[in-house]
Amino acid sequence: MIAIIGGTSFLDSSLFSNLGKKIVKTEYGDALTFQGTGYVFIQRHGEKADTPPHRINYHANIKAIKDLKASKIIAINSTGSLKKSIPPGSLLLPHDYFNLFNVPTFFDNELKFTIPGLDLQLIKLITQIAKHHNIEVIPEGVYFQVRGPILETPAEINFIKQIGDVVGMTMANEAILAKELDLNYASICMVDNFANGIVDIPLTMSQIEKKRKQNLGTLENFLNLIIKNLLA
pLDDT for 211 equals 67
pLDDT for 63 equals 98
Please name the amino acid found at residue 129: I
Distances (CA, A) of 20 to 33, 36, 227: 8, 7, 17
Q: What is the pLDDT of residues 55-112, one digit of tens each?
A: 999 999 999 999 999 999 999 999 999 999 999 989 999 999 999 988 999 999 999 9
Cα 158 from Cα 1, distance rounded (Å): 41
pLDDT for 114 equals 93
pLDDT for 136 equals 94
Residues 6+ apart with CB under 8 A from 122: 72, 74, 184, 185, 186
- Calculate mean pLDDT across residues 15-29: 88
pLDDT for 186 equals 98
- Calculate mean pLDDT across residues 171-185: 97
Is the pLDDT at 14 greater than 60, yes or no? yes
pLDDT for 11 equals 57
pLDDT for 216 equals 76
Is the pLDDT at 117 greater than 80, yes or no? yes
Crossing angle between the packed helical segments 205-231 and 120-132, to the nearest 10 degrees = 90
pTM over 0.85: yes
Q: CATH fold of 2-231, please?
A: Rossmann fold (3.40.50)
Is the pLDDT at 8 greater than 80, yes or no? no
- Calculate mean pLDDT across residues 201-214: 71
Higher pLDDT, residue 217 or 88 = 88
pLDDT for 23 equals 95
Determine the 3-state secondary structure of 39 from DSSP.
strand
Average pLDDT across the chain, whole number: 91
Among 54, 56, 229, 76, smallest CA distance to 150 is for 54
Is the pLDDT at 9 greater than 70, yes or no? no
